[in-house]
Amino acid sequence: MVDGLKPRPLSGFFLLGVLVPIALWFILRPFLDPVPSVPALYTSSGFSILAFVTTLYLVPALGPRFVQANLKGRDLLKTYSTPIPESQGLVCASVYLLSLILFIPFAFSNVFADRFSSQQKSVHGLAIDEFPHHQLSVYLSSIISLMMATLLGFLDDVFDIRWRHKLPVPIIASIPLLIVYFAERGNTNVVVPKPLRPLIGSLINLGPLYYLYMSLLSTFSTNSINILAGINGSEVLQAIIITISVIVNDLLYLPWPIDWRIPLHLLGNQSEIGSEIRIGGVWSAGMAHGSRVLVERHLFSLYFMLPLLGVCTGFLYHNWYPARAFPGDTLCYLTGMAFAVVGIQAHFSKTLLLFFLPQIFNFLLSCPQLFGLVPCPRHRVPRFDPETNLLHPSTVAFERPPSMRTSSTLHLLSLLGLTRLTKHPKSGQIFEATNLTILNLFLIKLGPMTERQLVKVLGATQVAGSVFAFLIRYGLAGLVYDGDRR
């Protein structure tokens, strides 16, 4: 084994001596007075830290068993050919699902409610003492969908399903979600953008089309991460940045305990003693517009996103360049389905799609190859040059002259700077074209770079996409939508 491929060292002191006590404090905090305004959120944070620590330990510990069971792969972009454990997203999925399940009594039983009723509620605004029980079946159906995604992702890893066949697989995993949505008579209305309202009214009931939309959302979120893959850390880094974006968006809707008061009477306004502007109260209900339903939805989303952040961050430590563990399709299925779950159940699917801008771009760029207009080799990852340790754009070679359609598509893409063609100097016939992925595009635009640099560029792009998404969502959406209810 190459020396650099020993499992990365873990700081037992920091993990067990610092993080675990912090996690336990978060879990126990709701049982101490004064009870915080959203007690289950503390528990969820505690579980997420534990999930992080557990994943950090389990991934390297179980690695050899994965290799033994033939779940292993060669790193294509390295000089060595040491087998690396593959499909270890399964470890993440197991830890994630178990923490979601263990969390159930904290969110859905009367553990906290009993304590609340015995003491005066001391928090202003939209303090939520307990998560509504009727949401339990929605929560459970989400777990079932996540579990099906895990199972199907793992089957994909074991049976190596061809990618054309696995495109619709997430639809199967979304069935439990849709069926419970139907059984619970879920809302299938969509708010119409302002310009269209004179034509079709302000609300439109999509009916069965809404279910189609939901199943396509899960297909998109799963596969779009799966096709932006191939270099160390890429899948899980995307997932982490999207997760953080969703978490930030959720936090905007929570009833924060911040309760700043600007005492007006001290500023000379003596007419009304005690008059004050309470920023906490106003801001806490700001994004939620005083809607308890909105707060509940975003809490629901947080309960799924926080532990996901935990397991993904733990996994990234071992998956970072040079990778000691590969995620496999299992991780892409799991994270994609988790995003679909919160987008659907917490009703912010349009905002969610904004966080997928790099994925959407990559998907659109890939379309000519995905749908057969341009030949698609089995791997489209950048080409590794062992001499310089740099990555170069990978190419698809044309043994015979490409058809008219293919070559005009490629010329158009080349004109837009999205691919680089190698042509016969005289006839102009295309010999080679770079593969149509965002990773190759980075290499065309920024020149050859190391794998470590490339994954950082990818991460930076994803962060920039999320910043842009927030600007659109909270800056421009007001032009076409009036409320913030989506």
171 binds a copy of itself (CB under 8 A): no
Residues in 101-160 that interact with a copy of itself by CB under 8 A: 101-102, 104-105, 108-110, 136-137, 140-141, 143-144, 147-148, 150-151, 154-155, 158-160
Six token digits for residue 94: 């197991």
* Amino acid present at 175: I
CB of 248 closer than 8 Å to CB of 226: no
d(CA 370, CA 219): 15
d(CA 98, CA 247): 20
333 binds a copy of itself (CB under 8 A): no
466 binds a copy of itself (CB under 8 A): no
Of residues 186 and 459, the one with the C-beta less far from a copy of itself: 186
Q: How far is CA 6 from CA 2, 3, 22, 46, 325, in A?
A: 8, 6, 29, 30, 11
Of residues 327 and 368, the one with the C-beta less far from a copy of itself: 327
Of residues 141 and 409, the one with the C-beta less far from a copy of itself: 141
Where does residue 33 rank: exposed (0-12), middle (13-18), buried (19+ CB within 10 A)? exposed
In the complex, the smallest distance separating the C-beta of residue 159 from a copy of itself, rounded to whole angstroms, is 5
16 binds a copy of itself (CB under 8 A): no
Per-residue x/- track, 411-440, a copy of itself (CB under 8 A): ------------------------------
Helix residue ranges, H only, 69-129 = 89-102, 104-108, 111-118
179 binds a copy of itself (CB under 8 A): yes
What is the DSSP secondary structure assignment for residue 31, as one 8-state letter?
A: G
d(CA 324, CA 56): 12
Which residues, including other chains, have CB under 8 Å from residue 63's CB and lie 6 or more apart? 7, 85, 88, 324, 325
E-assigned strand segments in 113-223: 189-191, 203-205
175 binds a copy of itself (CB under 8 A): yes
In the complex, the smallest distance separating the C-beta of residue 133 from a copy of itself, rounded to whole angstroms, is 8
- From 170, 176, 314, 322, residue interacting with a copy of itself (rule: CB under 8 A): 176
Q: Of 169, 185, 174, 164, whose CA–CA distance to 212 is shortest?
A: 174
Q: Percentage helix, strand, coil, to 5, in the chain?
A: 60, 5, 30
d(CA 297, CA 243): 16
Which span sits near a copy of itself by CB under 8 A: 9-17, 99-107, 222-230, 439-447?
Answer: 99-107
Per-residue x/- track, 229-258, a copy of itself (CB under 8 A): ------------------------------
67 binds a copy of itself (CB under 8 A): no
Per-residue x/- track, 18-57, a copy of itself (CB under 8 A): ----------------------------------------
Which span sits near a copy of itself by CB under 8 A: 90-98, 239-247, 423-431, 470-478?
Answer: 90-98
215 binds a copy of itself (CB under 8 A): no
Q: What is the largest CA-CA distance in the chain?
A: 88
In the complex, the smallest distance separating the C-beta of residue 427 from a copy of itself, rounded to whole angstroms, is 44
Of residues 110 and 269, the one with the C-beta less far from a copy of itself: 110
- From 2, 22, 69, 460, residue interacting with a copy of itself (rule: CB under 8 A): 69
| Strand partners of residue 233 | none
d(CA 485, CA 255): 16
In the complex, the smallest distance separating the C-beta of residue 303 from a copy of itself, rounded to whole angstroms, is 14
65 binds a copy of itself (CB under 8 A): yes
In the complex, the smallest distance separating the C-beta of residue 36 from a copy of itself, rounded to whole angstroms, is 20
d(CA 337, CA 169): 11
What is the binding site for a copy of itself (CB under 8 A)?
A: 65, 68-71, 90, 97-98, 101-102, 104-105, 108-110, 136-137, 140-141, 143-144, 147-148, 150-151, 154-155, 158-160, 172, 175-176, 179-180, 182-185
